[in-house]
């Protein structure tokens, strides 16, 4: 059983992510938001649970499907929504959009539009933590498809030989865009790839908060104890198309419906009530709060100014400090 404070954080975070994304979809559909927006709906348990065990000092590196990780690691919905809309009040001043959103102040090394692009970066942050002996861990989130990129394999090996404090979290949602995992990935359980690099690999139900929590606790302890990395595969499912308007010829309506029955939010809600941690009224309250926060974030983003083109060339380089 997860302690009350963390249970609240997890439930709240899953709802904040869900409400945020559904709001983003409606903004997209009314042409207020453009670009590539990859939605995490159905997969919220992973980010919320993992991040409930992290502090602000710990690092994460995320993916093109990064809203959930960003919010779970401490982003405000206001700043995140403003970034999705390209506004100057967004986390990256409107330069990143959904696919590159980052919040370094909360240890988030960014969404990453290059599949597999974030895995070595999380590994490097873990290397720094080890060299600085500061007790921080890194978490690398990535998809099943990304586990076929060279960066995944190189990073696991690096982290293993250097015994780095990192946890590799594979969010296996069974597809990379239209390609089913069985067609592109040589193993059914991606966790077995840990063996190739001499590190523990474990597969858990990615829609089950408690299962993720338990596996991650062990891995996190191992990392903090200096014993090296762990690979955790969370089996889950993306409810929506890869992009808004994706005709999804590659999967059936029945399959999607089946997975909607396994909604991680509903499941945890039932659990929390069963365990007597929260009453259903309390949980309703959390849901309402999340919805109101998402609505306010949309207002905030809509009313925020566009970035000033005069700043176009700012930040290409760091201009301060010593030039060596």
Partner 1 sequence: MIKTYAMAVHDVMAEEMRRDERVFIMGEDVETLGGVFGCTRDLYKEFGTERVRNTPISEAGFVGAGIGAACAGMRPIVELMYMDFTFVAMDQILNQAAKTRYIFGGNAKIPLVIRGQQGIGRGNAATHSQSVETFFMHIPGLKVACPSTPADAAGLLRTAIRDDNPVMFFEHKALYAQKGEVPEDIDFTIPFGKADIKREGTDVTIVANLLYVGRALEAAEILSGEGISAEVIDPRTLVPLDMNTITESVKKTGRLVVVHEAHRNAGWGAEIAAQVTEDVFPYLDAAPIRLGTAPCPLPFNLGLENAATPQVADIVKAAKTVLYRI
Ligand X SMILES: Cc1ncc(C[n+]2csc(CCOP(=O)(O)OP(=O)(O)O)c2C)c(N)n1
Binding site residues, partner 1, CB under 8 A: 34-36, 86-87, 92, 94-97, 99-100, 113-117, 145-146, 148-150, 176-179, 183-185, 249-250, 306-307, 309, 312-313, 316
Q: How far is the CB of 119 from partner 1 (least distance, A)?
A: 12
Q: Please, which residues have CB within 8 angstroms of residue 149's CB and are 6 or more apart in sequence?
A: 115, 116, 119
Judge whether 115 and 146 are in contact, CB under 8 Å. yes
Q: How far is the CB of 248 from Mg ion (least distance, A)?
A: 14
If binding is defined by CB under 5 A, does position 173 make contact with Mg ion?
A: yes
- Which helix H or strand E contains 321, and what residues bound it? none
Member of 88, 95, 162, 177 binding ligand X (CB under 6 A): 177
Cα-Cα-Cα-Cα dihedral of 302, 21, 68, 234, to 10°? -170
Member of 144, 210, 213, 287 binding Mg ion (CB under 5 A): 144
Beta strands in the chain (DSSP E): 59-61, 138-143, 166-172, 175-176, 179-180, 201-205, 230-235
If binding is defined by CB under 5 A, does position 116 make contact with Mg ion?
A: no
Judge whether 112 and 54 are in contact, CB under 8 Å. no
If binding is defined by CB under 6 A, does position 187 make contact with ligand X?
A: no
Q: Please, which residues have CB within 8 angstroms of residue 12's CB and are 6 or more apart in sequence?
A: 286, 289, 290
If binding is defined by CB under 5 A, does position 143 make contact with Mg ion?
A: yes
If binding is defined by CB under 6 A, does position 68 make contact with ligand X?
A: no
Q: How far is the CB of 289 from ligand X (least distance, A)?
A: 28
* Interaction site with ligand X (CB under 6 A): 64-65, 113-115, 143-146, 173, 175-177
């Amino acid at each position: 059983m997860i302690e009350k404070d963390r249970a609240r954080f997890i439930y709240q975070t899953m709802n904040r992510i869900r409400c945020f994304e559904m709001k983003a979809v409606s903004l997209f559909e009314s042409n207020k938001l453009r670009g590539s927006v990859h939605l995490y709906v159905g997969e919220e348990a992973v980010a919320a649970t993992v991040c409930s065990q992290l502090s602000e000092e710990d690092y994460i590196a995320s993916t093109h499907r990064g809203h959930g990780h960003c919010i779970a690691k401490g982003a405000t919905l206001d700043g995140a929504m403003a970034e999705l809309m390209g506004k100057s009040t967004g986390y990256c001043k409107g330069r990143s959009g959904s696919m590159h959103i980052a919040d370094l102040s909360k240890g988030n090394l960014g969404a990453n539009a290059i599949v597999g692009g974030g895995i070595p970066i999380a590994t490097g942050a873990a290397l720094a933590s080890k060299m600085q002996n500061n007790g921080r861990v890194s978490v690398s989130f990535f998809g099943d498809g990304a586990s076929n990129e060279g960066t995944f394999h190189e990073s696991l090996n690096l982290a293993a030989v250097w015994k780095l404090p990192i946890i590799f979290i594979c969010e296996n949602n069974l597809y990379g865009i239209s390609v089913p995992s069985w067609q592109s990935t040589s193993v059914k359980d991606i966790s077995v790839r840990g063996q190739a690099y001499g590190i523990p690999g474990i597969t858990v139900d990615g829609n089950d908060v408690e299962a993720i929590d338990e596996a991650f606790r062990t891995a996190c302890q191992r990392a903090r104890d200096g014993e090296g990395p762990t690979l955790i595969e969370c089996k889950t499912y993306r409810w929506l198309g890869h992009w808004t308007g994706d005709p999804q010829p590659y999967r059936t309506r029945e399959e999607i419906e089946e997975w909607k029955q396994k909604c991680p939010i509903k499941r945890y809600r039932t659990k929390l009530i069963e365990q007597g941690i929260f009453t259903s009224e309390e949980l309703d309250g959390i849901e309402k709060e999340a919805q109101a926060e998402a609505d306010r974030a949309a207002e905030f983003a809509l009313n925020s100014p566009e970035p000033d083109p005069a700043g176009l060339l700012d930040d290409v380089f760091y201009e301060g400090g010593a030039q060596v």
